[in-house]
Amino acid sequence: MREKSTTCLEKSQKKRRMISSTEALFYSRIITTPIGDMIAIASDNAIVYLDFIDDNETPQINNQNHRLLIRLEEELGEYFAQKRQLFTLPLSPNGTTFQKAVWETLLKIPYGSTLSYAEEAKMFGNPKATRAVASANAKNPISILIPCHRVISSNGSIGGYSGGLWRKEFLLSLENKTKNKKT
């Protein structure tokens, strides 16, 4: 009986070692912005997550000084100071093949511009996929850098935004002011 349980324990430990040796390391940091704190997560090679923290949340994060997270904080600061229109960080959002393709389409929307969900679906290459495209936008794990805030309803209303409509309004206004300054 004792021999069998030792064997099970050894198998469990071996499995844990195999899993931990193949898992990527992730680094996290809280970044303060004019529209609220955000949690940022990076792998060794890319930003994988950036989203707003709800006011009632207090995540237990040990701020890490990973080079990508430091650069992200700098680039977001420049963006909010109206000195940056394009982010230069590598991105690696987690999602389905369809979602990732939709998020690639979002990256093509110019700073200070907006598209309707229908126009985005057309740009994506499937004009009948408006609802599926909108659903993928709602699951965007990298706010601001993958600019789903630039997509509005066909009737011109602001549409939705997982970070809150007031934040979407702020971001669109910020980009519009910067765009108008340049012209």
Q: What are the structural domain ranges in the chain?
A: 97-182
pLDDT at 23: 54
pLDDT band at 63 (very low <50, low <70, confident <90, very high): confident
Q: Classify residue 89 by its DSSP letter.
A: S
How confident is the model over 136-174, as pLDDT tens digits?
A: 999 999 999 999 999 999 998 998 898 999 999 999 999
90-106 mean pLDDT: 97
Name the β-bridge partners of 125: none
Is residue 101 within 8 Å of 124, Cβ to Cβ?
yes
Q: What's the whole-number average pLDDT of the chain?
A: 86
Rounded CA separation 108/106 (Å): 5
48-70 mean pLDDT: 86
* pLDDT above 80 for 12: no
Q: For a pLDDT cut of 90, what percent of the chain falls above it?
A: 74
pLDDT at 61: 78
Q: Chain centroid to CA 120: how far? A: 18
* pLDDT above 90 for 45: yes
Residues with catalytic function: 148
pLDDT band at 59 (very low <50, low <70, confident <90, very high): confident
The CATH topology of domain 97-182 is Arc Repressor Mutant, subunit A (1.10.10)
Rounded CA separation 144/140 (Å): 10
